[in-house]
Every structure is written in C-alpha cells, then in structure tokens.
Amino acid sequence: MRRIIIACGGTGGHISPGIALLEELLKNKEHFQVSSIQLHSPKRNKDNPDLQNLPVEIIWHNLPQFKLTNAIIFPFLFFYQMIKTYFQFRKRQINTVIGMGGYTSLLSVVYTKLTKSSLFLCEQNCVPGKITRKFWKDAQKIACSFPLSESFQQPSENFKILGNPLRSSVLPKTPGLKNQVFSDKNPVNVLVMGGSQGARQINHMVLKAMENQDISRFFKFRVLTGTNLYDEVKEKSHDIEAISYSRDMGTHYEWADLVIGRSGAGVLAECSAYALPMILIPYPYAADNHQKANAEYFGNQGAGIVIDTNTMNSDFLKKELFKLRDNPKLILEMAIVSLGLAKINASRDTLNYFFHETD
C-alpha cells in the first residue's frame, strides 16, 4: 500500500493542482492502493485558503529560499530541515512522493533519493522548473500540463501530457460553449485577473482602455484587483466592478465571455475548462520566462491573444480589443479552440498514469 506525501509548496500555482490530486486520491483510495496521504508545505502557506480545513495532515517545514544574503548559512539551514523532514517522513512510513514543483518540494524529493522511495513529478509549465529539470531522470514518471517548450530537451521519455489538475470547486457545472452574439446592447463580459504578482500592470492597462467610450460600450469589465490593490483601483475608477479577492472563481468564469490575465498554468487550465478565450499578458519576471512560453502555446493554438510587454502602456490592449469589437466572431472561434485544449479529467488521468499504466 502507498503512503503518499504530496509536496505542494511555493505559490498557488503549485498548491492548487496538489489539492486537486489530493481530492482524487481521497475519493479513490482503494483504486490507487493508498493507505495514507499527507501534504508537505512551507509554514508561510498556513493562511492559504486552499490549505484550510483539509481532511489530511499537513507537515510544515521552514526551508528558506536561497539568496545571496543567506548563501553562507543556507547549507546549514537546508541540512537541518532535511534531517527534520527525513525523520518526520520515516515516522509515517512514507514510500511515495508526488512533487508539484517549486524549490520548496526539494526536501521531499531528496527524501526519495535517501530512501529509494517512489518519486512522481507534476510539471505545470511549458518550460520545466529547476526541480523538475534536476530530478527528471530520478522520477518514475512525470505528468506535464502542456507540451514542453522546444528549448527544453527532455533527458528521457518518462513523461506524458495530461493537463493541469483542477480542484473540484473550480470545475464548470455545465461545460461547453456559450455561443453568444455580441453588440453594444449585449456587451462582452471581460474578467480581468492580474494574479498574485504584477496585478498593477494589468489593472492600469484595463483602466486606461476603459476610458475609450467605444471599448466601454462594447465590453463590460469585472476586475479581480488583488487584495493590496483594491483601494488603488477604486480610487482611479468608481464605476468599475472591482473585487479584491474571491474564493468562488467558478461564478466569475461562468459570467465571463473573455479573460484578460496572466498566463500561469492554473489560470490557463481553468479558462480552457470554461471555454474562455484569453488576452494573455505574461508576467515578465517569471522564472525562466515560463509564462511567456505558456502564453505562446495557447496563442499559437488560437485560444488566446498574447501581449508581451512589461510596460503599463494600454495601446496594445486597446488595439486587440478593437479587433474583437470589429470581428466578434473571433471570440467564438477562440472559445472553441480553448475548450478543445481543456483536460477536465487531468487529476484522475495523472494518478492513473502514475500508479496504473505500465511503460
């Protein structure tokens, strides 16, 4: 029987798919031959909404990020956390680790090397992260959300493209196309999401675009501002529908006809599940520029429009919005492609690949 640790630290982009796999494992413990499941995550995530009131134990750790300022003492900090993790896992007889990426999964991954436990990796982005690249050959299998960038030469064939696992609370209740007809009297509902990082750039671009009367007449905007930027956005525009934070993203996706946002793997997977076309503005400072690679994949397929810029200039965004206003059928065409890229059953497919499929 498997005693599983899901290492889901770092940002929400690593945590959410980990929770999705947890949900699927809990529903099908016998099918996947699981006797116990725990999560491994850094203590700074204790207030993360996705990690509240879970029916499993969370083992917290304090692995710091490597920086020049802690370069001298980092080996000692890592060694202490590694020893602590080793004994915590051995006490629970952990024999299987599912790493969700991010440097905070390093402790769990190294544990598998020390104990010869089974290692499975999930890679959310088109450009694999450092942990995935480093331990690619050590993993039994790797589940990728999207096709890998041509710039990355995988060292082995132990991977499969299965989609990004989605939590049950985010899955659409009625999957499919909306097939709307848009006009000034029936405007396009646009959901704007800046993400946890860099929301100010997108908020500003949208606010400036809304000053154009033709755009504000044909498009109706709902902006998820981010908690820290809510007051700033409301001060600049009292008429905007602004929401600081929401735990019910499904409601917003159901409302939307178009999304303007970043190109993190989670957002892309959720939008495609709702057949949403996208205007993607990759976060320009993402590690290995992985958001740009993600955006280009969806853009090249025809599900999105990519605006690659690190400025707040709204001219690029206004240009693309005018194109959609002048040819609203493009929105439906993009939506069809977006739905075609959706992988609703990614959680189950990933676990079946890990535990049941033979090479």
pLDDT digits (tens, 9 = 90+) for 287-345: 888 999 999 999 999 999 999 998 999 999 999 999 999 999 999 999 999 999 999 99
pLDDT at 153: 76
Residue 65: pLDDT above 70? yes
Q: Give the whole-number percent of the chain exceeding pLDDT 90.
A: 69
Residue 238: pLDDT above 90? no
**Which domains can be identified in the chain, with CATH numbers?**
2-165+345-355 (3.40.50.2000), 188-340 (3.40.50.2000)
pLDDT tens digits for range 179-197: 888 888 899 999 999 765 5
Per-position DSSP letters for 46-67, written without gaps between them: TT-GGGSS-SSEEEEE-PPPP-
Q: How far apart are alpha carbons 295 and 126 in whole angstroms?
A: 9
Residue 198: pLDDT above 70? no
